[in-house]
Structure 1
């Protein structure tokens, strides 16, 4: 019996020694691996956007450069924008050793000589080639973001220092401000539109778009900053839809993006039902059409009531979400000196079946929506004001996805606390009608003068699922 135990112990010791030897060999191989910060003799570095060849062409970001064990060839570990469906389950591991992190099927190791800088963002032909600057925010890192099909992180309800400052928000790139500002205004601090991600998508492209959106929103809520390459993936997939071309590279308006997303990708039911003399229609937006007066600074409440009364319009049912679209307030599109976004929008008097005060439950606030975000435009650049903690909060932040430009390629996003200015000048005791707009603080002037899209929600109704039957 003792000899059998000794034999067994001997076998265990032998296996342990062999395992230690094997681990030592792996570590030695790793130590011998040459790792570079950039591809020798070529203008690509870790973090560079590259074309990887293939038909169709694949694009990605370099996550690792070096020589793999047993080879002298220089290769790059690349995280692709879209997965290679029929590839092995590559997530940055080679020969049992992890060299970088990415999602399964999004990774590949390629000889550096098949890579070249992403021509979508290259300089015009004829100009002297220069070394591509590295993104100050780094590549989009998917690690730590849940992979669940419908998983979405809850937004933060209290603002602190981690939410504001330079390099916060969504990084803008190549005409993306309409998209950056819209996503920030809808999702950064509120879950009022999270129901969009619960919709079942019938096609593969739609599912890829939904997944890209989820990754951006989750990363924004988790790390409070999203590098631009994540938005590139979203724009690339959006551009595949025939209904709206140019979303990959051209400047668009928020309603163009949202209409495509709501109607043709996520198949969302309209947020409101509008009854007009000509019939009843489901709508996502209300476009304000009122007679202009450049001497006035009206409120959004006044403009909504005025238009509904003049055009004999009513809501069939009190909506829980309302996107109020204003005329563009630039030099060529000025209808008013400015507009004050009402903190609370009372829509009950313009709803079907409205009962005058005195014969109804005055404690019922279902017909009141709270302001969540204000998306503004000056010339062709969109920015966003939104309320940390959701629509009922008193704090305000200002978001610009292209606040600074440290090199010829990259922008830096910034989130600024503007609570004091807005509460004093717009919602305090100041009388804006007696003020000259050019004398107002810069952010106050943009808030009042450049409003393009107001986002209102009934957070309490959404919380209790009081959507009711729209039809």
Structure 2
């Protein structure tokens, strides 16, 4: 059975100090879509019963084709508010067993494009039924249909269409076949593939592909990932350390089919996280270069080598990493006591980063946070906890981070070079906001310890901070309230503020003794470089590839499956 679309809805935002600051840009009023395949219909071919002549059913009316600049790419449309709200997800057809299917052909990266027309073919999820047959075939299996000369393909869908008592399988064929479709059956779409390659037959008429007699059942996913099914999709090993290509050069390398990191068997958590962190950013490249030390685990060098030469460097040069390489990394993750299930189970990015960074590579914690003068706490991901407020319908990342720090009395003990934030939008019970607007730039000046800060009234050097003034709408609403000595006294002369308790701002001990004026106090800002999203158990990412506000890529390691 498929999971509730809201049961695993999560978003993470990645900020870095590297790069120039950007300003929010007003979005287009038109509906945005991210494109991954052209839609055009052929008469549907139906084989619910395998007759000697492979007889056809009556084809449905041919819907209008889409205007498209590409004849190879497939599309999945996003909700209209996706660019402004988190999480975002593709409108995907759920598998009948509720899991992410596995096939050797499964990845694509696309840049954000404008509005396109939609198809009139009705999207139709299958009825819930068993997803396999007596031969062990399931979605993602290599199969053949025998009658005279065999027909070969990959099972893309298993289900029971309306009006049918038998379980059917939708195959994406290796070769085009007259009368086949691009994934529709009797006017309903069940998956998407190239034109004239979709064949629908009874599941019991399918057999495992006899050309791969040595292929193990899909229960052994590691062996299958290294099997002949993946032989044509291997990526290269690159020893030379490679910086990412940015702008148009980076866009050209990364976009299209067979680009990005190939997804396989519940790997989207790892694929999207690695793509977000390394495709266009060098902020964490130090983890690829640190020599092994005495206290490191025995497989430290092996892990670092796979990550550097088989994943990050090939991704930056060729724009492609095959699933065989990431499976090597997943096998190593399972060597850790807390790392079971990394080669097969659904995981979250936090679990992956914890095992990789903390247990294996021993990376210095990305964040150092102090609460109310207590000892510094280390972490790699900051999870935002806030109470919902009716005054703000669609909060920004800036607002949520400030609310969370103020309510918990937190400060950054050190300026982070990379800030990963988990939004308060996941699980059934922790969706406080329908939408969250991702701030392209994050000002963390007022969240840092031992940092000069600007008085909210006069712009001079702030000496005191008042948490109780934060919600006061009369004084720069929505901003952290810190004041110089004079302004603090004047603000708290008001009857409704005279009982407030304010605290001294911590300043650097070596702060120059001078007359601080408005504009003289520097701001510490971070730039958004990736957004990681999940819905219906599938992670995707939006990653920035250039300096412009519009320079964003959409990444889905399972983009060619439905």
The SS at the match of 1:297 is coil
Equivalent position to 2:277, from 171, 186, 190: 186
CA–CA separation in structure 2 for the residues paired with 1:220 and 1:358? 47
Name the TM-score, length of structure 1 as normaliser. Answer: 0.55
* Alpha-carbon contact 2:443-2:524 (below 8 Å) kept: yes
Equivalent position to 2:322, from 222, 227, 231: 227
- 1:3 is matched with which residue? none
CA–CA separation in structure 1 for the residues paired with 2:402 and 2:528? 16
- 1:460 is matched with which residue? none
What is the CA distance between 1:264 and its match in structure 2?
A: 1.2
Equivalent position to 2:256, from 130, 149, 165: 165
- 1:246 is matched with which residue? 341
Q: Structure 1 residues 199 and 119 mapped into 2: Cα distance closer, same or farther (>3 Å)? A: farther
* Alpha-carbon contact 2:546-2:552 (below 8 Å) kept: no
CA–CA separation in structure 1 for the residues paired with 2:378 and 2:445? 18
Equivalent position to 1:372, from 520, 529, 543: 529
* Alpha-carbon contact 1:329-1:338 (below 8 Å) kept: no
Give the number of the structure whose residues are more often helix, by fraction: 1
1:192-230 residue CA offsets vs partner (Å, 9 max, x unmatched): 111111223333312211111112011111110111111
* Alpha-carbon contact 1:190-1:389 (below 8 Å) kept: no
2:242 aligned with 1:153: yes
CA–CA separation in structure 2 for the residues paired with 1:195 and 1:205? 18
- 1:437 is matched with which residue? none
* Alpha-carbon contact 1:156-1:389 (below 8 Å) kept: no
What is the CA distance between 1:310 and its match in structure 2?
A: 1.3
Q: Structure 1 residues 333 and 306 mapped into 2: Cα distance closer, same or farther (>3 Å)? A: closer
- 1:204 is matched with which residue? 298
The SS at the match of 2:438 is coil
The SS at the match of 2:528 is strand
- 2:385 is matched with which residue? 289
- 1:399 is matched with which residue? 555
Equivalent position to 1:315, from 406, 412, 434: 412
The SS at the match of 1:255 is helix
CA–CA separation in structure 1 for the residues paired with 2:555 and 2:446? 34
Aligned length: 279
- 1:344 is matched with which residue? 441
2:326 aligned with 1:326: no
Gap runs ≥5 in structure 1 = 1-46, 49-114, 124-131, 406-410, 412-471
CA–CA separation in structure 2 for the residues paired with 1:363 and 1:231? 48
* Alpha-carbon contact 2:453-2:521 (below 8 Å) kept: no
What is the CA distance between 1:316 and its match in structure 2?
A: 1.4
Greater CA deviation, 265-274 or 211-220? 265-274
- 2:23 is matched with which residue? none
CA–CA separation in structure 2 for the residues paired with 1:369 and 1:270? 18
- 1:261 is matched with which residue? 356
Q: Structure 1 residues 363 and 138 mapped into 2: Cα distance closer, same or farther (>3 Å)? A: farther
Q: Which segments of structure 1 move beyond 6 Å, counting only runs of 4 or more?
A: none
The SS at the match of 2:527 is strand
* Alpha-carbon contact 1:179-1:257 (below 8 Å) kept: yes
- 2:286 is matched with which residue? 195
